[in-house]
């Protein structure tokens, strides 16, 4: 069994705010991230595929194909966008936390990877904070 990983990056703005909470509660919960004027991150995300090495190709998956999928399905949809407003469809109207963004990335990538190879999406919000998502397993 082999795991292969591809890394991409994008920049995006967001505001963490739940419509179920008052402005005061959102500010208490999310702190500076609840800024009504938004704030941005330079995100880095990794997609890991897990599967056997095909003896005919010597590859688990063609990384050039994975690169194309990641750029088309994620980077082009969110790079230099406001996740709350410009990418609300991508986020499926979820609060754009790192956790929910990782789920949205998984959903976009999973639709294009056959054979159950998608193993993990790792999203770095900054160099110290990251989340890992392994799907609904």
Position 136 scores a pLDDT of 87
Task: Enter the pTM of the model.
Answer: 0.95
Distance CA 53, CA 109 (A): 20
| Full pLDDT tens readout for the chain, 137 residues | 999 999 999 999 999 999 999 999 999 999 999 999 999 999 999 999 999 999 999 999 999 999 999 999 999 999 999 999 999 899 998 999 999 999 999 999 999 999 899 999 999 999 999 999 999 86
Whether 80 sits among the annotated catalytic residues: the reply is yes
Task: Tell me which of 9, 39, 80, 85 is the catalytic residue.
Answer: 80
Strands (E), the chain: 2-14, 39-51, 81-82, 118-124, 130-133
Assess if residue 59 is contained within a domain: yes
Assess if residue 18 is contained within a domain: no
Backbone phi and psi for residue 28, each to the nearest 5 degrees, phi listed first: -65, -40
Assess if residue 66 is contained within a domain: yes
DSSP 127: S
Assess if residue 83 is contained within a domain: yes
Assess if residue 122 is contained within a domain: yes
Whether 107 sits among the annotated catalytic residues: the reply is no
Assess if residue 48 is contained within a domain: yes
The CATH number of the domain where 76 resides is what? Answer: 3.30.479.10
Q: What is the pLDDT of residues 71-92, one digit of tens each?
A: 999 999 999 999 999 998 999 9
Whether 37 sits among the annotated catalytic residues: the reply is no
**Which residues, in sequence order, are CB contacts of 123 under 8 Å at separation 6+?**
43, 44, 45, 46, 98, 101, 102, 105, 130, 131, 133
Task: Tell me which of 14, 33, 73, 119 is the catalytic residue.
Answer: 33
Position 71 scores a pLDDT of 98
Q: How many domains does the chain have?
A: 1
Assess if residue 35 is contained within a domain: no
Assess if residue 27 is contained within a domain: no
51 beta partners: 2
Q: Could you tell me the residue range of the domain that residue 87 belongs to?
A: 2-13+41-133
């Amino acid at each position: 069994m082999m795991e292969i990983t591809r890394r991409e990056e994008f920049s995006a703005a967001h505001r963490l705010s739940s419509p179920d909470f008052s402005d005061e509660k959102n500010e208490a919960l999310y702190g500076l991230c609840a800024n009504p004027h938004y704030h941005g991150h330079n995100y880095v995300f990794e997609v890991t595929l897990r599967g056997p090495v095909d003896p005919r190709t010597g590859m688990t998956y063609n990384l050039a194909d994975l690169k194309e999928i990641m750029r088309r399905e994620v980077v082009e949809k969110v790079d230099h966008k406001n996740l709350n407003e410009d990418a609300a469809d991508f986020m499926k109207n979820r609060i754009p936390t790192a956790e929910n963004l990782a789920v949205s990335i998984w959903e976009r990538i999973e639709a294009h990877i056959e054979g159950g190879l998608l193993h993990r999406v790792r999203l770095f919000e900054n160099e110290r904070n990251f989340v890992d998502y392994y799907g609904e397993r």
